[in-house]
Structure 1
Amino acid sequence: MSDWSSAPLSLVQAVYAQCRTLPDWEKKVTDYFKEKLQDDGSREVPSLNDAPLHYLRHGELVHFRCMIQDMFDPEYYMGVYETVELSTGTRALHLGKYRDVADCTPQQEVDLHSSQTVTLERQTFYCVPVPGESLWVKEMYSNSRHTRTSPSTSYTPNRQKRSLEEEDDDVTHQDTQQAGDGREKCKRLETEQQWRCQTAETPSGSQSLDRYFPLPGEKGPACLVKVYENWDGFKVNDVLEVYGVLCVEPALSTLNEDRDPMSSLLDPADMAETLEEQRAHSPPTSLVPRIHAIVIQKLPHTNPLIPSSVSESEASKQSVSSFMSELSSVRSDLLGFLTHALLGDGLAAEYLILHLISTVYARRDVLPLGKFSLNLSGCPRSCDFTQRLYSILQQIVTAVSIQVLPVESIRHKSIVLTRFFLPPQSHYLPMTIDTMNGLRFVPCKDYSTNRLVSGLLQLPAHTLLLVDETVLEQGQLDTAGVRNLTALGNVITWQKVDYDFSYHQMEFPCNVNVLVTSEGRSLLPSDCQVHLKPQTCPPSLEPYMEALLSATLPAMLNKFRMYLSLLQLMDYTITEEITKAVEDDFVDMRKDDPQSMSADDLHRLLVVARLLSLSVGQTSLSRDGWLRAKELETQRKSRLQEQKFLNGNEL
């Protein structure tokens, strides 16, 4: 039991040997690992998000925080198999769970015709690190773990040229007998090279090392996560926390290559799977390792400062309750922080807070409830205001993706495009018209490999998508470019992305906060437009924003981060009394001026009132909250009318 993290397979096999007759022995194993991972136990498990793959050992327990990018078809495996000792004929039963290759020494062989063999089913997820995850989130998770600081004994600086004899220290399976075979080594390296060529970076820089990463330039490993139970509860784009057995098995790289080409004529299963599909679904484990999940859960958020479930323990409840007691002061400090970031505009800061805590909490038919996309117009063109604002926001949100999609007009499919900015872990990609027309925003199905090829809009829930329209340059969009622009509009309006399956489209709901910065009114749709009215004009934005960040203590930044994440998880209700008062107020406003309050205006006012109540820690709308929401909306509309009058045309 002391080796539960370093040798989990030995523990599972021992429990199986002793308790396999019990009906719930597998649940006892899972419960044991869950108990060990409580409190500080999970910190002892190395994380694939932090430690390079060559620092980890095959067969040990690892942690991985990831997003499901694709789901493969279920696969069959030998849940129980029998081995025979060649010299003595002694038979032994083995558990095949959490393995890819049978545990069989050179003196043993697997009896494929044994009556003891049990065939079971498992599901495989292709998982990638959480797209757009902020740097502070990565660092905080990394600092909370006691990860290794030295590579495993099987590591050599050049993994492409390491011998299989060195990797043999990590592997004790039936294929070990062939480890020194030069032909196998050449085939494995050839397979890896072919897979690398398929996913290599293109000269234009538009594709990252792994073409299945949604955002270009994302760092970190992709993994095949194999799930053994309750996989129906997961879906594409879910964020997972996985604890499982790491598999870095050289033998898997050559299994497909060793098949007789004529076998496809005899085996219908081989005919149904092309060579491209085999390579896409079984990449070398040195590039895409396997994790056999023992404990897996869906994360409602990725903020390391708050528990995954605010009601999972008494300690969590007390911590949240303590924070809620100082919510008013935190909100006041955050308002001041964002006011300075928005050049002294307090009204814009108020609406930005409402935008940052908004989330889709329910869907009624096709209408997503709770979304609050924001268009911040009036942003300066002469300086990198959006990029500097992004540097501020990435310090307080858990995941953010910035897209500079400058739009001036769409007459005859014209669009303005110059640059494409990504999170700090991503590279800077100059965006010309050609690259805009060539980039993929919407994921699509590749039938030759039977893989879902990711797009820029395949993002996890609660990601902040910042779209910049302040940099202008005229150009012509082709069909693909118009399709990308339409996809952005669908995310904003309907919170959905229509994945392209060639012969049809499949709708995938999303929950992405979209903030659009523009000089005039954005050509993209939005739930609310606020015109920026700067009260200060610093000579240079970069030192101004850096001074703002340096003046804010790390402890205060952590409170901002907790504030934004916790309020997204809070419930909200409206009493019948307040509902009646709102209806009466709406009728009165329509009596005075029917044009002043439409159904859309009422809907936006109710959303503002809801978010405003949550921002001060109230889970139910009060009369004062309703009046405050009306006051904010009056100020916002008055500013828009004033700007319209000054410009002489509609924003």
Structure 2
Amino acid sequence: MVSSLLSEALSSPTDVLLSFYDAYDHGALDDFPKAVAKHFSDIFRTEEAFSEIPPLIPSRSYNDRALVRFRALVQDTSLSPEIYLSRLRDGKCGGWGMTETPQGDGDDSDFDFNHLRDSSVLWAVSVPGETEWYQSASDGHPLARADQHVESLRAHKYPIPGGTHYGVQIKMYINSGNDIPKTTDVLNFVGILSNEPQVLHAESDESIIVPTLHVLFVREHHLNIFEASPEPFQHHVREELLSWIADEALGGDRDAAEWVLLTYVARVQSRTRSLNPPSLTLSHFPSPTSSLPPLPALCHLLSLILPLHVTLSLSLDMLNSVPFAPESVNEDLHSGYLQLAQGTAVLMTESGIQEGKLIERGVLNVRTIQQVIDTQTLAYKFPFSEFSFPTDINFVILAEGTKSALFQTDVTFPLNSPSTSDLYKLNSDIKLPSIDKLEAFRRLILSAKAGNIEVTEAISEHIQEDFVRQRKTDDAMSPEDLKRTITLARLICLTMYDSSVTVDGWERAKELNRRRMARFA
């Protein structure tokens, strides 16, 4: 019975919805959308069943009213709700894209107002920066990749200009009040796909036909897609990961590799106490020569081990022309480069910044980037107001000089006399570890990024006493130094699968920072 219902839901979700409606208590229609969500989520409750739902991706065609799943970033929640008839005049189910059969010259107003309901309307896009391996692993099988650029409707609503993606109008029928999805949430929407008109902006009747997903149920998406490993932490995996990053992308600089790793596994710990992920500048990172690839090898290497990764090759032209913050234009929210999912790793290169002038937009973009680095909030611009929304984005900046030309970061780490040819390689020149080793690297990173760690009372006392001893010999030590070293110790212990900060982790953090300071000497 379950398998036949599963098969029918996959092949004809509309028929399953209509059958469920016919059997439902019509005296409780207010609860019908919640019942629909439970009914369909029960059908696809197992991972095996869920993976059978076709994913919505660019360059693939779908039948009208096909059942699809769309792992997407919520880009715009400001669209007006839509009124629909929950029960049509013929007694059939309304909503989910099902409307009245045309009645010729009949009176369209002959309906029961008590059957009017409203649906929430959102705009969602493919998750920006989602790496190929992570996309494949999240969906249970490799996804077909577009081998050419795919034009997407309303491309200005995607954070990365020119990026291949799917943009979809989302219609949700559960009245969730303030619990509707928020901007930059990443969710798995499962529903019936159709093509419907969308009004371009409130002051015009002009509309275009866009892909529209009528949501049956929503499943949360967690960044860590790996189950807990039955094996204990293996110290050599962490060491091999650091050596691989150093040797293949950072000219053999192992300390630089550790700073990069720790920066990218960090996340916001507490917004009230401003415990944000540290930002990092790798200084003395030379620009590529004309005979070398334009992007550093680190870009490709990171895409092999991180789930969400975006490279921003900064230039004055880019800063002066491309928005980095979302902005409402004619009541339509245009996206910006930094409207990214929580957990996204951003690598910014400054090699393209030459002499020139920043115009007003460029100055605003620099301020926007710095605001996100400092506060982990991104300001959305509206005609008469500005609202800040929380972010959780990791930043590493590659700077040619002794520090970043435009930004201030929490940590600056000078690369150790790198050879330019060791930093810029073709993808094919990067030596790859085995598939099993790569998966171990990915598992370590995602486990560390999702992990929680505490500072016990005993280790807290040890740290305080140690800090007091250090202040006696170095009065330049400040509370900020203490805060930074504790954060570093947390991250080190997370990458070693510890549940709490250890004395060893504290000592490692002190030594790592000591070696960093020695570079400046």
TM-score (norm 1): 0.71
Distance 1:630 1:542 in 2: 31
Q: Does 1:124 align with 2:105?
A: no
Matching residue within 434, 445, 455 for 2:328: 445
CA RMSD of superposed structures (Å): 2.8
**1:557–1:145 distance in 2 versus 1, CA, 3 Å:** closer
Local SS of the residue matching 2:357: coil
Tell me what 1:95 maps to.
Answer: 93
Matching residue within 54, 57, 70 for 1:49: 57
Tell me what 2:185 maps to.
Answer: 238
Local SS of the residue matching 2:208: coil
Bigger mean CA deviation after superposition, 485-494 or 40-49: 40-49
Distance 2:441 2:161 in 1: 29
Q: 1:308-361 CA distances to partner (integer Å, 9 max, x unpaired)?
A: xxxxxxxxxxx41325x2442321221111121211111111111111210113
Matching residue within 21, 24, 27 for 1:19: 24
Tell me what 2:168 maps to.
Answer: 223
Task: Within 5 Å, give how 1:257-276 maps onto structure 2.
Answer: 273-275=202-204
Distance 1:503 1:30 in 2: 38
Q: Does the CA contact (< 8 Å) of 2:159 and 2:340 recur in 1?
A: yes
Q: Does the CA contact (< 8 Å) of 2:325 and 2:378 recur in 1?
A: yes
Q: Does 1:548 align with 2:430?
A: yes
**1:336–1:28 distance in 2 versus 1, CA, 3 Å:** same
**1:401–1:9 distance in 2 versus 1, CA, 3 Å:** same
Q: Does 1:8 align with 2:13?
A: yes
Q: How far is the alpha carbon of 1:382 from its aligned partner?
A: 4.5
Q: 1:421-444 CA distances to partner (integer Å, 9 max, x unpaired)?
A: xxxxxxxxxxxx445312211111
Bigger mean CA deviation after superposition, 30-39 or 120-129: 30-39
Any unmatched runs of 5+ in structure 1?
Answer: 83-91, 148-195, 201-208, 258-271, 307-318, 406-416, 418-432, 643-651
**1:542–1:440 distance in 2 versus 1, CA, 3 Å:** closer
**1:574–1:221 distance in 2 versus 1, CA, 3 Å:** same
Q: How far is the alpha carbon of 1:534 from its aligned partner?
A: 4.8
**1:562–1:231 distance in 2 versus 1, CA, 3 Å:** farther
Distance 1:41 1:534 in 2: 53
Q: Does 1:333 align with 2:340?
A: no
Distance 1:485 1:375 in 2: 16
Task: Within 5 Å, give how 1:354-503 maps onto structure 2.
Answer: 354-364=262-272, 367=274, 369-383=275-289, 387-405=296-314, 417=315, 433-446=316-329, 448=330, 450-503=331-384
Distance 2:238 2:107 in 1: 64
Distance 1:559 1:624 in 2: 23
Q: Does 1:522 align with 2:404?
A: yes
Distance 2:132 2:483 in 1: 36
**1:146–1:40 distance in 2 versus 1, CA, 3 Å:** farther
TM-score (norm 2): 0.88
Residue type of the alignment partner of 1:438: S
Q: 1:426-468 CA distances to partner (integer Å, 9 max, x unpaired)?
A: xxxxxxx44531221111112x2x2111111111111111111
Matching residue within 479, 490, 499 for 1:599: 479
Q: Does the CA contact (< 8 Å) of 1:238 and 1:298 recur in 2?
A: no
Tell me what 2:147 maps to.
Answer: none
Q: Does 1:295 align with 2:175?
A: no
Tell me what 1:570 maps to.
Answer: 451
Q: Does 1:61 align with 2:59?
A: no
Local SS of the residue matching 2:506: helix
Tell me what 2:517 maps to.
Answer: 637
**1:4–1:22 distance in 2 versus 1, CA, 3 Å:** farther
Identity of aligned residues (%): 27
Residue type of the alignment partner of 2:384: Y
Local SS of the residue matching 1:216: coil
Which of 1 and 2 has greater Rg? 1
Tell me what 1:533 maps to.
Answer: 416
Distance 2:14 2:177 in 1: 21
Matching residue within 250, 253, 256 for 1:342: 250
Task: Within 5 Å, give how 1:278-293 maps onto structure 2.
Answer: 278-279=205-206, 282-284=207-209, 288-293=210-215
Distance 2:143 2:256 in 1: 42
Q: Does the CA contact (< 8 Å) of 1:327 and 1:617 recur in 2?
A: no
**1:496–1:538 distance in 2 versus 1, CA, 3 Å:** closer
Q: Does 1:506 align with 2:387?
A: yes
Local SS of the residue matching 1:363: coil
Q: 1:230-277 CA distances to partner (integer Å, 9 max, x unpaired)?
A: 36332111111110011125xx48xx79xxxxxxxxxxxxxx9421xx
Q: How far is the alpha carbon of 1:224 from its aligned partner?
A: 0.6
Tell me what 2:40 maps to.
Answer: 33
Residue type of the alignment partner of 1:374: L
**1:210–1:33 distance in 2 versus 1, CA, 3 Å:** same
Distance 1:29 1:343 in 2: 56
Local SS of the residue matching 1:226: strand
Distance 1:110 1:376 in 2: 70
Distance 1:483 1:476 in 2: 13
Distance 1:110 1:290 in 2: 28
Local SS of the residue matching 2:74: strand
**1:210–1:50 distance in 2 versus 1, CA, 3 Å:** closer
